[in-house]
Every structure is written in structure tokens, then in C-alpha cells.
Structure 1
Amino acid sequence: MEDLRRLGGEAGVLAGVAMAWLFLGFVVLFPSAGLNLVDQGNPHRYLPFIARHASMFWVVNILGALVAGLLSAVVYMALHDRFKDESPATARIGSFAGTMGAAAFAAAALVRHTGFGWLSTIYATNGVGAAHAFYAVSTVAGSFMGLGNVMAGLGILLFGRVMQRHPRYNSLGYLSMGAGTVMVLAGFVTHPFSFAVSTISAMAWFTRTALALRAEAGPALFRWGTAKSRANGRAQRRVA
């Protein structure tokens, strides 16, 4: 369905923007407000920070992590629709893995948001208990993040194999192999560097994939690049 591919193109752009916002939030906004990447694993620094900057935490976590996770699922479904006729099994498995990864990312964002948000309110009265609970919530959120990286990375790798055999998507296929590999590895390594590299890789992949879908199917909501899409559509109709 061409409409799904168009929506996938728009969702990919927005997912890339959300990931960029998430990355800037953790790497730039939080440190500028007094919380560096290392301290984000310290409950005695992180929970008071959330209590003081609740709106900043909400904006970064919800508009960044949660939105990126939800929108990325649309991209995987659009790719399945695009490649299901050429490689039905690979497209189906890739879509399932990617959608599962997207759901895990969204779950991690919600666990982090609700868990840390609640703990920040009780930290002032029960700091020790809140700190212990912080590590439990961090473990659950980290597990979801790891699962999300592995499954999304596998989905990207599978779609990359299909893309490499298609002239229009050949270069994107190579990018998919690189980004997917990085994301799978990041699922097993909990470190700020792996978070940064996997986020940048996913950001680049979603943006590039969205542009490829838009170039082929046209825009769904935002009309930048419409003239080029219409020209491509007319050329395809003439060939047909």
C-alpha cells in the first residue's frame, strides 16, 4: 500500500528528529543543567535533578525516547509493505524484529519516565529506599533498551540484505548493515559511548530510509520535495 509507505517516510523523518532530540537531551541539555552522562547512573544525583527539572526530563524522555520508539514501528511496517513481494519471508521477519525493538524502546522510555519520576518525589523523605529502587528501575529500563537495540538491529540487518539487491536501495543497504551491526552490539554493552554511537547510527538510518521512501512513494503529510516526487511518478507512469 503506497499510503503506508508514505506514512513510513514521514514517520522516519520524525523518528530521526526525536532521536536527535533524545541525544541532545542526554549529551547537551542535561549536562548544561548540571547532570553529566556518568551521573545519570547515580541516584543521588539523578533523582534530585529530575525533581528540580521535571519539565526538562519529561520533554527529553517523552518527546525524544517514547516518540522515536513509536514512530519507528511505522517505518518497519512500511518497509515490510515495500519489500514483501520481493522477499516475503525476510521482510516479514525484519518487520517483526524491528517492531518488537520499537516496542521495547517505547517501554524503556515509559519505565524510565514513570519509575524515575515517582522516585524523585520520595527521594527527599526516603533517600536510601529511593536509591535502591532506582537501581531496580534502571535494570528494567536497561533490559528493555538492550532488547530494543538487538531486535531493531536485527530488523535493520534483514532489511539491509534485501536492499542491497535493489538498485534504488543499494547504498541504503550498506548503511543498514553498518547501523544494524552497531545497534546489535550496543544491546550487549552498557556504556555512554555505545549509547551515543547506536543513537547516531539509528538516527542516520531512519532519516536516510525515510528519504528513500518519500522519493519513491511521495510525501504523505509534509509537502517539501513534492515536485520531485511528482516528476518521478510521471516518469514511472510513462514507463508503465
Structure 2
Amino acid sequence: MQNLRRLGGGAGILAGIAAAWHLFGAAVLIPQAHLSLTAQESPHKYLVWANKHQEMLWWINGGSMLAPLLGLVLLLALADRVREDAPDRSQIGYVLGVVGLIGFAVGAFLKQFGLGSLVPFHVTNKVGAAIAFYAVNGTANAFLSLGGVALGFGALALGSVMLKMRGYYGQAGSLSVIAGAGLILSALSPHGSFYIITSLLTIAWLAGTGAVLWTETTPGHARRGHVGEIRDESVMVMSRGAGAR
């Protein structure tokens, strides 16, 4: 299980990096290339721009496609770590998280390949491409909203377990609850600024939780969580026994 947690921790850190790269590209690089966040939802503006910057889109959207896949490994390791403390909530959090990450992955692939296939079509048939753009983009956004709601509730379930654990897991639990609430609200009421804030929270949650799992498996690191609590109770019992003598 230590290998799984190390693998999950590394995957979480990489997922955070991939998500951060996508956010940087979508919120900074693409607008600097003269396509704002709002313009990215316009078929004629987006498809004309994408025709000239296909390589940039590949690099930026690669992060959004990779992050959910790495996040699945993180969820598997995290659910395994907290299963002893709360098997029901850990299972619920894991299932909801998997559904959410699949939603994000499908949405990201639709954005890259679905909209990308419309770029050459837009050159010959702008009206037809615009109609298809709304259909594909709407479907992608629906999957992204599903991902936000499901992953948000999954993060809340797992975070509620980690909040009761000691050490860094308690801090990661607080971040998980905040990020989960943000994901749900962002999915239900998407706005540009709120999207950026929620994305930053999600990046911090992925990387932070991954770092906690990774750190726990390093040699010489004292494991924190429910095991630490058991050790504390054992020390107290031994101390009381010594005092009675």
C-alpha cells in the first residue's frame, strides 16, 4: 500500500502541475494571443483563432486532458488511505470523484478533438460550423459541469474524513472541503473570475493532497493520522500503568 500511496502522491502533484499549466494557458497565454475567455465561447472568433494556433491549443489542452487521468490515481490512493477511518464515506468520495474526473476528461477531449475537427469545416461552411460548435461546446460544458459537481461532492466526502485526522491530513482536509464547495458553486454558476479562483483551489488540492501522500511514504517520516492517534493513546495507557505502580 505504501507503493500505491507514493504513486498516488506523485500523480496528484503532476495533476496539479498539468492543471496549472492549462489554467495559465487558458487565462494568460491565449488572451495574450488575442482571444479572451469570453471570446473562447464564440464559434467564429474561436475557430478562426484556432486555425492559426493549433499547436498552441495542443500544448495547452494537453494539461486539461492529462490532469483528470492523473487525478484518478490520486483518488485511488487517497481513498485507500482513509478507508480504515471511514469506509463508507471514503467509498462514496472515491466513486463521486471518479465520476467527476471522467466528466472533466470527456469535456477536455471534446474541447480539443471535437472543436478541433470543426476548424477546417469552418473555412468552407461558417454557418454549419457555428451550429456544430454550439452543439459540441455545449456538450463539453455539460460534462465539465458534471465533473465539477461530482468531484466537488467527492472532495467534500473525503475532506470530511481527513478533517478528523491529525497532522497534514487535517490541513489537506480543510483544503479539500473548500475546493469541493468551490467546484460545486463554479459548476452551477460559471463565471470567468470564479472559474479562475476555483481552478486555483483545485490545483492546490490536487498538488497538496498528493504531497501529503508522497511525504508520508518517505523514509524516516512519522506517519500521521489515525495511527498517530493510536500511538498517543498507547503512550497514555502505558503512562497510567507506570503511575499506578
Residue type of the alignment partner of 2:10: E
Contact between 2:9 and 2:211, CA under 8 Å: does it hold in 1?
yes
Aligned equivalent of 1:3: 3
Higher alpha-carbon Rg? 2
Q: How do 1:1-240 residues align onto structure 2 when only pairs under 5 Å count? A: 1-62=1-62, 64-168=63-167, 169-217=169-217, 229-232=218-221
Cα distance in 2 between the residues matched to 1:184 and 1:233: 35
Residues 188/4 of structure 1: CA separation in 2 closer, same or farther (3 Å cut): same
Q: CA deviation at 1:99?
A: 1.1
Cα distance in 2 between the residues matched to 1:179 and 1:35: 28
For the residue of structure 2 that corresponds to 1:166, the secondary structure is coil
Cα distance in 2 between the residues matched to 1:24 and 1:43: 22
Give the ranges of 4+ consecutive aligned residues of structure 1 lying more than 4 Å apart after TM superposition.
Answer: 233-236
Aligned equivalent of 1:223: none
Cα distance in 2 between the residues matched to 1:161 and 1:122: 48
Per-residue displacement from partner, 1:102-132 (whole Å, max 9, x unpaired)?
A: 1111100111111111111111110011011
TM-score computed with the length of structure 2 as normaliser: 0.88
Q: CA deviation at 1:194?
A: 2.5
Cα distance in 1 between the residues matched to 2:214 and 2:48: 44
Cα distance in 1 between the residues matched to 2:96 and 2:49: 35
Cα distance in 1 between the residues matched to 2:54 and 2:98: 30
For the residue of structure 2 that corresponds to 1:231, the secondary structure is coil
Per-residue displacement from partner, 1:110-167 (whole Å, max 9, x unpaired)?
A: 1111111111111111001101111111110000000000111111111111001101
Cα distance in 2 between the residues matched to 1:8 and 1:121: 40
Per-residue displacement from partner, 1:21-54 (whole Å, max 9, x unpaired)?
A: 0101111110111111111011111001111110
Cα distance in 2 between the residues matched to 1:119 and 1:93: 38
Gaps of 5+ in 1: 218-228
Cα distance in 1 between the residues matched to 2:173 and 2:204: 13
Over aligned residues, Cα RMSD in angstroms? 1.7
Q: CA deviation at 1:190?
A: 2.3
TM-score computed with the length of structure 1 as normaliser: 0.90
Gaps of 5+ in 2: 235-245
Aligned residues: 226
Per-residue displacement from partner, 1:199-222 (whole Å, max 9, x unpaired)?
A: 1110011111011101112xxxxx
